[in-house]
Amino acid sequence: MKDRSLFIRHSVNFGIKVISSLSAVLTLFMLGWILYVVASRGLGAFHLDFFLKLPTPPGVPGGGIANAIIGTALITLLATLIGVPVGILAGIYLAEYGLDSRASNAVRFLANILMGTPSIIIGVFVYTILVMRMGNFSGYAGAIALGIIILPVVARTTEDMLRLVPNSMRESALALGAPRWKVILGIVFRSAKAGLVTGVLLAIARVSGETAPLLFTALNSPYWVKSLNEPVANLTVTIFNYAMSPYADWKEKAWGASLLIMFGVLVVSILARWFFREKRV
C-alpha cells in the first residue's frame, strides 16, 4: 500500500514537472518567435533619418519618427513621475500601516479592479474629465492616463514585496529606537529593493505599449514636440496609423517603431537591474 502510494506521488510529481517544463519551453519559444519576427522586419527601418527626421506626407517615402520618439519619452517619463510615487506610497500604507483594516481592504479591492480595467476605459475617462474640459488633446492628458494605469500595478507589487520582508527585521530595528519611517526606508525597502524595481519596470513596460488611452488623450502629431499642452506624437499611435496604412514604407517604419519600443524596455530593464543590483563584498 505504501509502495503504491509512493509510486503515485512520484508519478504525479514527474507529470507536473514535465508539464511545467513544456510550458516554460513553449513560453520561451513564443517569446523568441516574437522577437525574431519584430527584429527581422524592423531592423530594415533603422537608419539615421528614422531617428532624426519628421514623418513625410502620406505616400512619400523617407523621413523618420523622431518626434514620436521624443513624445513617447516625455509622456512615459511624466506618467512614471505621476504613478510610481503614489503607487509606492499606497503600497507602503497597505503593507505597513493599513494591514487588514477596512480602509486598506477597500483600497486593495479598488486597486485590483483598476488593474483589471481595460486601458481604453481609462482613456475615455481621462478624455471626459480633462480633454473635453481643456478643449484639446494634450500630452499631459496622455501622461495622466498612463499614470493611472501604472498606479495600481506599483501599489500591489510594493505591498507584496514589503510583506515578504520578515517582521523580525522590523522588530529588531524598532527595538533599537529607530522611528517607523526610517525602518521602512532604511531596512524594509532595502530588503525588498529588487522586487520593488521589478514592479516599477513591469508597470513601465505595460504602459510603453498602450495605444488606446493615447488615442483619446494625446492623439498624435506630425510635428516636433513644442509643448505637452497640445497633441503630442507618440510611438504607439504612430505604429497604429502606419500599420493600417497601404504604404509599404510606413509599414516598415511601424515594425521599426515596434522594435524600438521592445529594445527600449529591454535596455531600461537591464540598466535598472544593474544599478540596483546587490553588491557583494
Q: Is residue 194 pLDDT above 70, yes or no? A: yes
If one counts every other C-beta atom within 10 angstroms of the C-beta of residue 71, the result is 27
Q: Say how far apart CA 210 and CA 77 lie, in whole Å.
A: 14
Q: What is the mean pLDDT of the chain?
A: 91
Q: Under 8 Å CB-to-CB from 220, ≥6 apart: which residues? A: 68, 214, 231, 232, 233, 234, 237, 238, 241
Q: How confident is the model at residue 142 (pLDDT cuts 50, 70, 90)?
A: very high
- Distance linking the first and last C-alpha atoms of the chain: 53
- Digit-coded pLDDT (tens) for 146-172: 999 999 999 999 999 999 999 899 888
Q: Is residue 2 pLDDT above 60, yes or no? A: no
Which 8-state DSSP code applies to residue 233?
-
Q: Where are the alpha helices (DSSP H) in 65-192?
A: 66-92, 102-116, 119-126, 132-134, 139-163, 167-175, 180-183, 189-191
Q: Say how far apart CA 280 and CA 276 lie, in whole Å.
A: 12
**pLDDT exceeding 70 applies to what percent of the chain?**
96
**Residue among 90, 221, 241, 73 nearest 143 (CA):** 73
Q: Is residue 111 pLDDT above 60, yes or no? A: yes
Q: Say how far apart CA 263 and CA 137 lie, in whole Å.
A: 28
pLDDT at 6: 83
Phi-psi region of 232 (alpha: psi -120 to 50; beta: other; left: phi over 0): beta
If one counts every other C-beta atom within 10 angstroms of the C-beta of residue 230, the result is 16
- State the pTM of this model: 0.89
